[in-house]
Amino acid sequence: MQENTTVARPYAQAVFETASEENKLTEWSEMLGLLETVVTDAQMKAVLGNPKMDAAALSDFILGVCGEALSETGNNLVKVLADAGRLTIIPEINKLYEQLRAEAEGVIEISVTSAYELAPEQQATISELMAKRLGRKIEISNDVDDSLIGGVVIRAGDTVIDASIRGRLKALAMQMTN
């Protein structure tokens, strides 16, 4: 997976720069999302793995599936990736592009894992506190993990805040063994 990220990074950067120049960040998100859906489809994976399909046939096939949903520049991206034999890294390109877009727009996605589903007011409070702490707009996603017993674990980029009961019990156990 690390290799895919390394290979995808220059493509994602080029797409982001193009989208910025065209002032079409949202449109490119939609195009890349569509392309990711297409290339990750089980039947499409079989087509992409077919050694009898050359680059031109693959790009024509994908462009046919996407129809009018891709711009001329989006069509060119498909052709370049097909020529390079890199259509399968579109999901990684999409992921990296979305990270670049979020950074440019001053948005950070945080993941909140809690023992129970958070109420909208709780999500709003966490979002507000994290926005103040990080100085950015927050997009929040909530996952439930009942093994936390109570509390939350918040992940924002490389930052992890473990305010769960499970985390506190582990810390207490570590202190008692030292």
pLDDT reading at 178 higher than 80 = no
d(CA 97, CA 25): 9
For range 50-68, the mean pLDDT: 90
The residues of the chain that CATH labels 1.10.520.20 are 2-102
Contact 31, 37 (CB under 8 A): no
Q: What is the pLDDT of residues 95-111, one digit of tens each?
A: 999 989 988 888 888 99
The pTM (predicted TM-score) of the whole model is 0.71
The whole-number pLDDT of residue 169 equals 86
pLDDT for position 147: 87
- Class level of CATH domain 2-102: mainly alpha
Residue 49 token pair:
């793995």
Helix (H, G, I), strand (E, B) or coil at 71: coil
Residues 123, 109: Cα–Cα separation, whole Å: 13
